[in-house]
């Protein structure tokens, strides 16, 4: 059984857009579209420094 629900964040969620994007990428169900570990390590959420 495969669930086709779209993941949405509450407006009250206090995380950056990069963090939300990273989470959604990590939760990609289709293995053909899923990022590799190497690609995840290059994501701005992990590579950008905080001010």
Q: Could you give the CA distance from residue 45 to residue 9 in angstroms, rounded to a whole number? A: 17
Give the pLDDT mean for 13-38.
Answer: 92
Q: Kindly state whether residue 12 falls inside one of the protein's structural domains.
A: no
Q: Kindly state whether residue 40 falls inside one of the protein's structural domains.
A: yes
Q: Kindly state whether residue 6 falls inside one of the protein's structural domains.
A: no
Q: Kindly state whether residue 11 falls inside one of the protein's structural domains.
A: no
Q: Could you give the CA distance from residue 16 to residue 48 in angstroms, rounded to a whole number? A: 12
Q: Kindly state whether residue 10 falls inside one of the protein's structural domains.
A: no
Contacting residues for 46 by C-beta, under 8 A, at least 6 apart: 22, 40
Mean residue pLDDT across the chain: 87
More confident of the two residues 36 and 12: 36
Q: Kindly state whether residue 7 falls inside one of the protein's structural domains.
A: no
* pLDDT exceeds 60 at position 15: yes
Q: Could you give the CA distance from residue 2 to residue 23 in angstroms, rounded to a whole number? A: 19
Domain extent for 42: 17-47
Domain tally for the chain? 1
Q: Kindly state whether residue 34 falls inside one of the protein's structural domains.
A: yes
pTM: 0.76
Q: Kindly state whether residue 29 falls inside one of the protein's structural domains.
A: yes
């Amino acid at each position: 059984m495969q669930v086709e629900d779209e993941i949405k964040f509450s407006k009250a969620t206090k995380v950056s857009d990069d963090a939300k994007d990273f989470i959604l990428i990590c939760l990609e169900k289709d293995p053909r579209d899923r990022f590799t570990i190497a690609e995840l390590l290059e994501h701005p959420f992990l590579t950008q420094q905080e001010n």
